[in-house]
């Protein structure tokens, strides 16, 4: 028996050593894998003007092959600092770390340990005359040039990507790109902070978001500094954002009460209320031309911060760089949701699959692995887009899809909505009171939520200061793909007004509840926000030169809402809301034509708003319908 036991034990050892066993080997946890397989270095790279840019570099210990470089430039710190302090993840996803690349994280100029002056969304300079003429394109070029010449065992191929602000640095780095830059992925990129990203939407200040962000990020840091050396200011808004910002009063009070003149960019926001040269210079889109690297722009249909940027960066490259390797990826994600989590749901809306995992494994990783290592050809389409409603990934040869036909959803009497224009003429009206603005969510939250992009709108439909139009129950599916255009004929008794348009999917009454549902939300009759966008009426003719309304005079207000790819299922309804406030997501319009950043409490007045539906003023929302 002892001999038999000894033989069995010996066989078990052999099986374990040769892998001849039913048990799969355990994967080494990623932090341990990184420490075992990478060596970390830190460098200060000289830029052309002599300033030094700080980078952390993680190099594979395996010298058996040459590795490509993946670069991320960020204003948010490359921490942890110190060559013995390692990140717990590398690259866009775990697959990258295990596949092995040279990973480089760079503090952008003027942030944390990089020298120089920091400038928010530094303008691109197309007319450089000498080494002192720098921008984000040159800093990226200089960083890449130093890396490929000084990091041993690199294969001379570089990729860059980043989300949000780092997405902007990715876009800018692709302009006048270094020859070694082969792949670029701007993801939710900051693109135009006045027209549609982050802090302004069509001239409306996204108040809660701007306040939260600049309360920390906007504080001056004149010396190179590590994150743990910064004293973060307290946020006095800890309970109810609606009450907090309403109690704060006019915008001018934010600086006086809370920022104490210590947030320079907030002052810039107030100083430049129109789309002047200050804002135009920060728009990267005109410079996205002659693209040499392969570009994959990524965004989320429900990104509360930078939905505009992803769509417009792709569009600008498509129009200005004919023939470029340019593709778009859009999924059902919140801001950056594709890079973390599984992407199965947002709020109470379910997407029926792990959309984020699919993106990371089947789109992003194959894209970089092909362009930087030459491994496989993923044969990715022009547009890889997720169709919400049906919850299906679609491959499109163009975006928007060429088969989508232009139609209009017209407003009818008694709150009806239809693709045919109304026969009866008239108008609908409501009273807008800036001292009792329409909230953007039904809950008490401190600021902008990422779930608001799909939130239930039943609370707003019941308000008297919100016009509600809806179709009959749909007898077949209706798929909308591409941008939406609000074409409103309106009047106001004030001299200025905001106009908010929301497109909503109304679920049938017998729609099943989600499981689990800890908050007992009823999905039957749920009014899912599909897209919503505000517009400051003073800019109806020009973002550069605002104009007051003549009280009572009908005028046209037309603007674009970001794209959608959504199917309204049979048994659902299509709904549209029109309102004049969306607080505190957007700042309050006093409804008096004044400089809103300097407005007084007495400037905030009630106004009667009319939306017309007549032959010479037919209000509608223009859409694109797939057959």
**Greatest CA separation for the chain:** 103
List all residues 6 or more positions away from 400 whose beta carbon is below 8 Å from its beta carbon. Answer: 481, 482, 483, 563, 624
374: left (phi over 0), alpha (psi -120 to 50) or beta: left
pTM for the whole structure: 0.94
On the question of pLDDT at 479 being above 60, the answer is: yes
Contact between residue 104 and residue 54 where contact means Cβ atoms under 8 Å apart: no
On the question of pLDDT at 10 being above 50, the answer is: no
Q: What angle separates helix 307-320 from helix 165-173, to the nearest 10 degrees?
A: 10
Give the tokens for residue 566.
Answer: 């959504």
Beta bridge partners of 45: 53
pLDDT on residue 514: 73
Q: Which of the four pLDDT bands, split at 50, 70 and 90, describes residue 225?
A: confident
List all residues 6 or more positions away from 112 whose beta carbon is below 8 Å from its beta carbon. Answer: 54, 77, 78, 79, 221, 224, 225, 226, 227
Q: Which CATH number fits domain 200-280: 3.40.50, 1.10.3020, 1.10.155, 1.10.287?
A: 1.10.3020
pLDDT on residue 575: 99
pLDDT on residue 26: 84
Contact between residue 236 and residue 229 where contact means Cβ atoms under 8 Å apart: no
pLDDT on residue 19: 44
Fold of 405-626: Jelly Rolls (2.60.120)
- pLDDT digits over 264-295, tens only? 999 999 999 999 999 999 999 999 999 999 99
CATH number of 30-192+282-396: 3.40.50.1820
Spatial distance between the Cα atoms of 394 and 382, rounded to a whole number of angstroms:
11
- pLDDT digits over 433-455, tens only? 999 999 999 999 999 999 999 99
On the question of pLDDT at 229 being above 90, the answer is: no
Spatial distance between the Cα atoms of 322 and 324, rounded to a whole number of angstroms:
6
- pLDDT digits over 24-59, tens only? 678 999 999 999 999 999 999 999 999 999 999 999
- pLDDT digits over 369-428, tens only? 999 999 999 999 999 999 999 999 999 999 999 999 999 999 999 999 999 999 989 999
Contact between residue 482 and residue 615 where contact means Cβ atoms under 8 Å apart: no
On the question of pLDDT at 1 being above 80, the answer is: no
Average pLDDT, the chain: 94
Parts of the chain belonging to CATH 3.40.50.1820:
30-192+282-396
- Reference 470, options 387, 389, 369, 573; nearest CA is 573
Percent of the chain predicted with pLDDT > 70: 95
- DSSP at 361: I
The pair phi, psi for residue 358, each rounded to 5°, is -60, -45
Parts of the chain belonging to CATH 2.60.120.260:
405-626
pLDDT on residue 556: 98
Spatial distance between the Cα atoms of 515 and 611, rounded to a whole number of angstroms:
40
- pLDDT digits over 172-210, tens only? 999 999 999 999 999 999 999 999 999 999 999 999 999
Percent of the chain predicted with pLDDT > 90: 89
pLDDT on residue 527: 98
List all residues 6 or more positions away from 6 whose beta carbon is below 8 Å from its beta carbon. Answer: none
């Amino acid at each position: 028996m002892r001999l038999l036991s000894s033989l069995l034990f010996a066989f078990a050892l052999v099986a374990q050593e040769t892998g001849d066993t039913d048990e799969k080997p355990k994967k080494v946890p990623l932090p341990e894998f990184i420490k075992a397989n990478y060596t970390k270095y830190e460098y200060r790279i000289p830029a052309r003007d002599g300033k030094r840019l700080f980078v952390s570099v993680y190099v594979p210990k395996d010298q058996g092959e040459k590795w490509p470089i993946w670069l991320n430039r960020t204003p948010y710190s490359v921490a942890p600092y110190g060559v013995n302090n390692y990140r717990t993840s590398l690259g866009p996803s775990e697959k990258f770390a295990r596949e092995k690349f040279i990973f480089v994280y760079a503090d952008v100029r003027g942030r944390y340990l990089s020298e120089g002056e920091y400038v928010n969304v530094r303008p691109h300079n197309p007319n450089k005359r000498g080494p002192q003429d720098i921008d984000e394109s040159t800093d990226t070029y200089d960083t890449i040039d130093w890396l490929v010449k000084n990091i041993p065992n690199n294969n001379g191929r570089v990729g860059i990507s980043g989300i949000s602000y780092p997405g902007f640095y990715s876009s800018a780095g692709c302009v006048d790109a270094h020859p070694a830059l082969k792949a670029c992925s701007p993801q939710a990129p900051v693109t135009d902070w006045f027209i549609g990203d982050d802090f302004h939407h069509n001239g409306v200040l996204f108040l809660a978001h701007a306040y939260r962000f600049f309360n920390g990020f906007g504080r001056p840091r004149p010396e190179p500094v590590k994150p743990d050396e910064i004293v973060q200011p307290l946020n006095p808004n800890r309970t109810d954002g609606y009450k907090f910002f309403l109690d704060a009063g006019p915008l001018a009070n934010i600086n006086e009460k809370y920022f104490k003149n210590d947030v320079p960019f907030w002052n810039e926001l107030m100083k430049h209320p129109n789309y002047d040269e200050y804002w135009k210079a920060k728009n990267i889109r005109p410079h996205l031309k002659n693209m040499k690297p392969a570009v994959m722009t990524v965004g989320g249909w429900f990104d509360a911060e930078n939905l505009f940027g992803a769509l417009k960066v792709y569009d600008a490259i498509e129009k200005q760089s004919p023939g470029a390797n340019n593709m778009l990826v859009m999924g059902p994600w919140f801001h950056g949701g594709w890079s973390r989590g599984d992407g199965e749901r947002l709020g109470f809306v379910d997407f029926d699959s792990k959309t984020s995992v699919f993106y990371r494994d089947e789109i992003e990783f194959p894209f970089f692995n092909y362009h930087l290592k030459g491994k496989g050809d993923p044969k990715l389409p022009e547009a890889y887009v997720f169709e919400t409603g049906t919850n299906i990934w679609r491959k499109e040869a163009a975006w928007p899809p060429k088969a989508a036909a232009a139609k209009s959803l017209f407003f009818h009497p008694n709150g009806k909505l239809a693709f045919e224009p109304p026969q009866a003429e008239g108008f609908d009206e409501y009273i807008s009171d800036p001292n009792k603005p329409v909230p953007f969510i039904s809950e008490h939250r401190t600021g902008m939520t990422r779930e608001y992009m799909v939130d239930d709108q039943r609370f707003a439909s019941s308000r008297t200061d919100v016009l509600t139009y809806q179709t009959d129950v749909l007898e077949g599916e209706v798929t909308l793909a591409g941008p939406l255009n609000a074409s409103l004929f309106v009047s106001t008794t004030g001299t200025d007004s905001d106009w908010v348009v929301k497109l909503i999917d109304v679920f049938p009454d017998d729609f099943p509840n989600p499981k689990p549902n800890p908050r007992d939300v009823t999905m039957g009759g749920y009014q899912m926000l599909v897209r919503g966008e505000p517009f400051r009426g003073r800019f109806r003719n020009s973002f550069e030169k605002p104009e007051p309304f003549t009280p009572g005079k009908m005028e046209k207000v037309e603007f674009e809402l970001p794209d959608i790819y959504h199917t309204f299922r049979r048994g659902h309804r299509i709904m549209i809301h029109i309102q004049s406030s969306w607080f505190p997501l957007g700042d309050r319009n006093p409804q008096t034509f004044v400089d809103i950043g300097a407005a007084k409490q007495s400037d905030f007045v009630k106004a009667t708003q009319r939306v017309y539906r007549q032959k010479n003023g037919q209000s509608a929302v223009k859409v694109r319908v797939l057959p």
